[in-house]
Amino acid sequence: MKGKVALVTGAAQGIGEAVARALAESGVSVAAVDQNEQGLRSLVTDLEKTGLHAEAFTADVGNSAAVEETVGMIERNIGPIDYLVNVAGVLRTGLITSLSDEDWEKTFSVNTAGVFHVSRSVAGRMITRRNGSIVTVGSNAACVPRMQMAAYAASKAAALMFTKCLGLELAEYNIRCNIVSPGSTDTPMQRSMWSGRDGAQAVIDGSPEAFKTGIPLGRLALPADIANAVLFLLSESSRHITMHDLRVDGGATLGV
């Protein structure tokens, strides 16, 4: 992977940050994209201290024009994009009857339209080079109904199927498109759903009254666990894998 160029959205925190760091440590030049300018600056500064290459690009993936401008800037400033990792995501929880229009629209703007905007822009350039690898970080909630997570689950299900369709269309150009679907991962987004000091254990145990299984492996994922799966699917080690959904959830969806 050394010498390649990667665009990572949602790179300022959580899984996106872990992916950006793992790629940089593998010798990849990372274009880190996020709306969180301060978080991006912190990441890039930290990586550069150890001699790794990353550049920050502040953009809203829900804004098509901003995405196209940012992708063009990355290719001019760093080089042709070899890898794309769609990680940017938001979470709005609540019963369906209590979700606002803004909750629904914002969730889909980032989690679904954002994947479309960035993938379309990058894929168009990859096609001319007949090479590339794209990974969308989804969620195991895309495959299992979850109470109070309808907007998030639906948006991730749409992103999952979009990425599979993208992989089918791009296969003839030697461009692979895959999905990594994490389960509960120790990130700020996950912690925002906890109530009380035993939030992690409650997630591990599951909740029969909410029809939610626990985690058979008995622990939350770390962001690095997800990043490792992303790097595998980007790399030549998975050169004959495309349109695949790789669950990284400790068995929470019971292999279904």
Query: What is the fold of 5-190+224-244?
Result: Rossmann fold (3.40.50)
Q: In the sheet where 5-9 sits, what is the strand order? A: 54-58, 29-34, 5-9, 83-86, 132-137, 175-182, 245-248
Write down the pLDDT at residue 192.
78
Give SS3 for 44.
Answer: helix
Residue in 82, 97, 80 with CA at minimum distance from that of residue 135: 82
Rounded-to-integer distance, Cα 256 and Cα 253, Å: 6
Give SS3 for 124.
Answer: helix
Mean pLDDT of 166-178: 98
Write down the pLDDT at residue 205.
87
Map tokens 């626990």 to a residue.
214
Instruction: Give the start-to-end residue ranges of the domains of the chain.
Output: 5-190+224-244
Statement: residue 17 has pLDDT above 80? yes
- State how far Cα 15 lies from the chain centre: 7
Residues 94-150 pLDDT 10s: 999 999 999 999 999 999 999 999 999 999 999 999 999 999 999 999 999 999 999
Q: Which amino acid, 227?
A: A
Average pLDDT, the chain: 95
**DSSP letter assigned to residue 19:** H
Active-site residue set: 152
Angle between helices 64-77 and 114-129 (to 10 degrees): 40
Statement: residue 11 has pLDDT above 90? yes
Mean pLDDT of 232-236: 98
What are residue 182's DSSP bridge partners? 248
Statement: residue 46 has pLDDT above 80? yes
pTM of the model: 0.94
